[in-house]
Amino acid sequence: MAISYVRAIIGTAVLFATAVLLLTSTVSRVNSAANIPQAPVGHRQPTAQDVQSVQEDNSADQTMKKIDEDLKKKLNGICRGC
């Protein structure tokens, strides 16, 4: 009967030690994931600061609209009533 108590205590100790080791390894994996270094410049995903704002691009849109309007006026002068 005393041997079964000893086995139960040893089994509980082994289970407890295993649980502690599993929790420790999980915590270390979470901490190592937070410390991942950045990729080289050619392999990084662009961030919001890397992308030009939409307002800076409006000058190109305005230029294209002016060119389209000028072309439309010239085409109306060539082909009336088409």
- pLDDT tens for residues 44-81? 777 777 776 655 557 788 889 999 999 988 888 776 66
Give the C-alpha separation, 29 to 25, whole Å: 6
1 pLDDT band (50/70/90 cuts)? low
The model's pLDDT over 19-49, given as tens digits with 9 standing for 90+, comes to 888 877 766 565 555 677 777 777 877 777 7
Give the C-alpha separation, 15 to 12, whole Å: 5
Task: Give the model's pLDDT for residue 67.
Answer: 93
Give the C-alpha separation, 57 to 52, whole Å: 8
This prediction has a pTM of 0.32
